[in-house]
Structure 1
Amino acid sequence: MKKSNLPFVDSKEDGAQRRLEQLGYPQELDRKLSVFGNVVMALSNVSPVMAAFVYALAAFATVGIATGPAAILQGINVILIGLILGELGSMYPVSGGLYSIVSYVLPKPLVFIAVFTFMIQAFIYPPSIAMGVAQYLQILFPQLPQGALACSAISAITLIIALLIGLNSIVTSNRVAKIFLALQMAVIFVFLYVCFANPQRSLGDVLFNAEMLNESGTGTVPVTFAAVLMGIGILCAAIDGYPASLGFSEETKGSCRNVGKAVFISAATTAVIIVVVLIMGMVAAPDLFAFLSNESPLLYTAESYMGAIGATIINAGIIISSFGCLVVIINYMARVLYTGARDRIWPGKMNSALMKVSGKGKVPWAATILIAAVDCILVFASDIVTLITFGGMAAATVYLLIAIGSINSRLRDKESTRPFKMPLFPIPSIIVILFLVVAITSQTAKDLAIVGGLLALALIYYFAYIRPRDRKEEKDENQ
């Protein structure tokens, strides 16, 4: 992997492109996105409606109303992560996003732990989104085939349609994203209006007197602080997606600072919208036991006040916004695989295949197709709660390493240019590290074992393949 910690001069006109070339990469993708366009792509990847109505299902099912205090803590965490990513993303405006950042700020063994964990998310998030779309389609149209197999089939069809859109130019994808984002903002506005107009309990009740279903599901019991900590880990998947802003770094116009601004704005907006939606959905719920027992708790709140027609409108908004999210996340993750191949982290022939870019649309078509193909298989082999829970653990691990890397970067590279400088360093980094260590260690033994196994696999891959290959190439160059 190419590295350059040399100082550089940022330019409002083409600073990001010049920095990319200084890092040793050619400008192959099409720079057509403004900061606003970048944020639109990131928020479409986040999909606040999808996050609240689908991803948060795992939190409600696991920790109940403790989702409220957990969401506030994770929201603060996300804003701090946004500051970290803003600084590092402006220094290394490369389309690999989090993967590219860790490759510059961490020692190589830790790089491959982060890379491996992050790459796995490319094959976790899209199928979970597609399954969410399918489930809400089955609710909205009961005449559709029901059951798990039918849900998987609908999910696969949804992925294929999203793939076809993603194979077009970034301009086309951005237009689709803008339309879907506008629609989901309208859905959120309507939902929040209803919730603010019909409060059933105080904010304090939700935050300090939280309950969850008992083991038999026949009643509720008070939650413990341990449940709140577990909720933070799960919500790492729900209040996520904003790093997609970095995935479009090579397609964002202007300065390196623009990249940093875009990711911070994306993170802060993500945190505020999703936290408010989750908490107000609980504040307005007519009955908390019915809320927690419902297949879709927030939809239960909406239907209680808006009736069947209103719930149908919300449901349609969920489907539309989730599909928009799917289009963007496939685009984003394809660029991560493309950048990884460009840095030769995969076996030789696989790198060559994943680096292929379409002539007209200038998109990494091979990586895009690979993600969609694997995800079409996964929707038949997984359930959405498992995917979301594991996705949260994977995300928390990557963000923990990013926070460590931000401290390492400041200590090691004191002369490096930082177009978007994190304020109050090292406080944001330290708080994020503490947050995530507690959140990760609060998960179940099974989830910890799975993540530990993946980390071990990443190290084996590095020491068995990457390190010997790099040493051989260095030896050949010196001869």
Structure 2
Amino acid sequence: MSTFRGEGPPIAGGEYSFAARVLGKATGFALFLMNALSIILIIGVIALGTGQYLAAAVSGADSKWVGVGVIVLCAIIAVLNIRTNAWVTGTCLVFEMAALVVLTVLGFFHVSRPVSVLFHAQTADSHGVLTGVGLGLVAAQMATAIFAYNGYGASIYFAEETRNAARGIAKAILWSLAITVAAEIIPMTAVVLGAPSLGALISNPAPMQYFITARGSSTLNTIVSLAIAIAIINAVVAITLQGGRTLYSSARDRAYPDPISNFFRYVHPRLQTPLPATLFVGAVAAIVAAIVPLNSLIIATGATLVALYVIVALSAIIGRINGTSSHAHYRMPLWPLAPVVVILSLGYVTYELWKGNPWQVIIAVGALAIGYAYYYVYLYPQRATRWTMPAAAHDEHAVDDAGALVMGPATEISPPGASNATEATS
């Protein structure tokens, strides 16, 4: 197994990249395949929600085809220069935060129930009648909760386009986590406490629109719904960027026959983005959104993020033990408490998911199994030239002389008989 002991920054590709170096290349590819599937499904899930909010402003908007159109638009945006995308997503974030502020103000100005309601798990039937739920159902919904908060660690996918990534990525991830938790917990607390009827809020198919209309007005609902739609578009752009870079990284690692790997590892010389990989992710996500029902997409993503978090936690434990993470600038406090808690908690969540809908677990495990099979059938027999895991470049190679961010590590380990990498250009 190739280890990752250098002083360079993390490699684009996200979780699979470090899992391959810590847990072994077979696990790395299995995680890549499951994560790639998850990213495509998540793009579809999020984009299909756009139509719900646009319908509040545009009469007759079809949720499915609006979602498909959003995916296509976001894929085109995602192939632009990373700095351009930073401006686009930053601008969208302003609208998103404004919508969250409105929800927070409306809720806290109309508090209708005590804070204690937050600590009693309840659900509502179609008539808005509240009933208590047990720990098992709460645990089963943890997969949805992870889905809601997931994304704070995505900066690692852009490590090769980030200055001083080795020292800064950990701080970026932890700050993103803190901001994400605050940006979701505070508005949701306000909504739960300030809704006219908790039963009506939970049972409503569009709970936020119900809340804004009830505590504000239909006009405010239209404005906030547009802001939320922009936020959803922002999320689709970000995840498409992430998906394009993980596919690019797998191609650079020579996961496929050479014609396919060379196609997906291509970086546009002016935009400095993995153009074919990004457009492919967008195209597949659009097709999936067009033909697969939303509920099926949600079920399919249910356990994939749980499996991803478990493998990340295992990497945090094994990497410290076998020394493959000894180069890291960041050292986890109270190791191994956090990863052990994650593994035990998500083990229970997986058990409850299996009891509730085993297909969620079957899809995740099946994707991992296919990944392992592909590795041992195709990649392992050609391990000298396939799934090569390039060495990390030093941070100064992440930018050219003009300060433009570039894709790809400057020093790729070329397998015997392979041509040198050309992605890292300046």
Interval of TM-score (by shorter of Structure 1 and Structure 2):
0.7 to 0.9
Determine whether 1:103 maps to 2:103: no
What does residue 213 of structure 2 align with? 303
Q: 1:233 — aligned with what?
A: 143
* Matched letter for residue 212 of structure 1: T
AA at the equivalent of 2:135:
F
Whether the 8 Å CA contact 1:155–1:379 is kept in 2: the answer is: yes
Check conservation: 1:140, 1:315, Cα contact below 8 A: yes
Equivalent pair of 2:244/2:274 in contact (CA under 8 Å): yes
Q: 1:141 and 2:58 equivalent?
A: yes
Unmatched 5+ stretches in structure 2:
389-414, 417-426
Contact kept in structure 2, 1:200 and 1:284, CA below 8 Å: yes
Q: Give the equivalent residue in structure 1 for 2:393.
A: none
CA spacing shift, 1:183–1:218, aligned 2, 3 Å = closer
1:357 corresponding residue in structure 2: 267
Question: What letter is aligned with 2:145?
Answer: L
Question: Does structure 1 residue 212 correspond to structure 2 residue 129?
Answer: no
Aligned to 2:284: 374
Q: TM-score, normalised on structure 2?
A: 0.85
In the other structure, the counterpart of 2:361 is 448
Instruction: Tell me if 1:198 matches 2:115.
Output: no
Aligned to 1:325: 235
| Structure 1 CA distance for aligned equivalents of residues 250 and 107 of structure 2 | 44
Aligned 1:51-70 pairs, distance under 5 A: none
Q: Are the structure 2 counterparts of residues 424 and 118 from structure 1 closer, same or farther at C-alpha, using a change threshold of 3 Å? A: same
2:372 pairs with 1:459: yes
Distance in 1 between residues matched to 2:129 and 2:292, nearest whole Å: 29
Q: Compared with structure 1, are the counterparts of its residues 254 and 451 closer, same or farther at alpha carbon in structure 2 (3 Å cutoff)?
A: closer
SS of the aligned residue for 1:221 comes to strand
Contact 1:184/1:318, CA 8 A, preserved across alignment = yes
| Residue 470 in structure 1 maps to residue 380 in structure 2 | no
**Distance in 1 between residues matched to 2:234 and 2:280, nearest whole Å:** 19
In 1, distance between residues paired with 2:193 and 2:302? 25
- Structure having the higher helix fraction is 1
Q: Could you list the runs of 5+ residues in structure 1 that have no partner in the other structure?
A: 9-18, 21-92, 145-149
Worse-superposed segment, 165-174 or 464-473:
464-473
Q: Could you tell me how far apart the structure 1 residues matched to 2:345 and 2:321 are?
A: 22
> Identity of counterpart residues, as a percentage?
25
> Is residue 2:78 matched to residue 1:161?
no
User: C-alpha distance in 2, partners of 1:218/1:314?
Assistant: 24
Task: Give the whole-Å Cα distance in 2 for the aligned partners of 1:446 and 1:465.
Answer: 27
CA distance in 2, matches of 1:285, 1:121: 33
CA–CA distance in structure 2, aligned partners of residues 371 and 415 of structure 1:
30
Could you give the per-residue CA deviations for residues 41-78 of structure 1, whole angstroms, max 9, x where no partner exists? xxxxxxxxxxxxxxxxxxxxxxxxxxxxxxxxxxxxxx
Structure 1 equivalent of residue 32 of structure 2: 115
| Contact map agreement 1:118 1:398 (CA 8 A) in 2 | yes
Runs of 4 or more consecutive aligned structure 1 residues displaced over 4 Å after TM superposition: 471-474
Of structures 1 and 2, the one scoring higher in RCO (CA 8 A, sep 6+) is 1
C-alpha contact 2:4 2:324 (8 A) present in aligned 1? no
User: For residues 415-444 of structure 1, what are the alpha-carbon distances to aligned partners after superposition, in whole Å with 9 as ceiling and x for unaligned?
Assistant: 822212111111111111112111222112
Aligned residue pairs: how many? 387
